[in-house]
Every structure is written in C-alpha cells, then in structure tokens.
Amino acid sequence: MNSTVAIGVRVEPELERRLDQLALSLGKSRSTCVREAIALYVERFSGGEEARRQSQLIRQQTGSTHWSEQIPDWTDWTA
C-alpha cells in the first residue's frame, strides 16, 4: 500500500473554483488533480531537463551555442 502525507496549500478563491470545475469535468477529486499537477511540475523541473530544453530553444532561435548570449529585445517588434 502506498503511503501519503497531507500538505496544505493556500490558493486564491478563483483558482480553487477553477480547480473544482476541472476536477468535476475530469471525474477526479481535487486531491487527485493537485497530486498529478505536483508530479508533473516536479518531473518537469527536476534534473535540469527544463533548463536543457530552454537552452535548446534559445540555441534554435539565436543560432548560438552560448546560452549566456543576450537574446534580442523583441518588445517593440510588430507583426
């Protein structure tokens, strides 16, 4: 049998409402949705996988192999 622990998390009322709606639409409990979200978050951001993914995206956009080079400021770019 799996052992679990309870943790407390404070969220804004709107986020709680949206979570409850999502859980209902998925046929899952609020706790199940939160557990799955935490598991995905931990998987994504542990082990440096996300950092490597971001570095690869920067390299593709800039053509540079140096992650520390500045990315152009596109804030004033218009389509």
CA distance 27 to 32: 10
Q: Check: CB of residue 58 under 8 Å from CB of residue 71.
A: yes
Per-residue pLDDT tens over the stretch 37-62: 999 888 877 877 777 777 788 778 87
Helix (H, G, I), strand (E, B) or coil at 18: helix
Q: Is the pLDDT of residue 35 over 90?
A: yes
Residue 70, pLDDT score: 60
Q: Dihedral (C-alpha) 26, 29, 32, 36: value to the nearest 10 degrees?
A: 30
Helix (H, G, I), strand (E, B) or coil at 73: coil
Tokens of 57: 């995206």
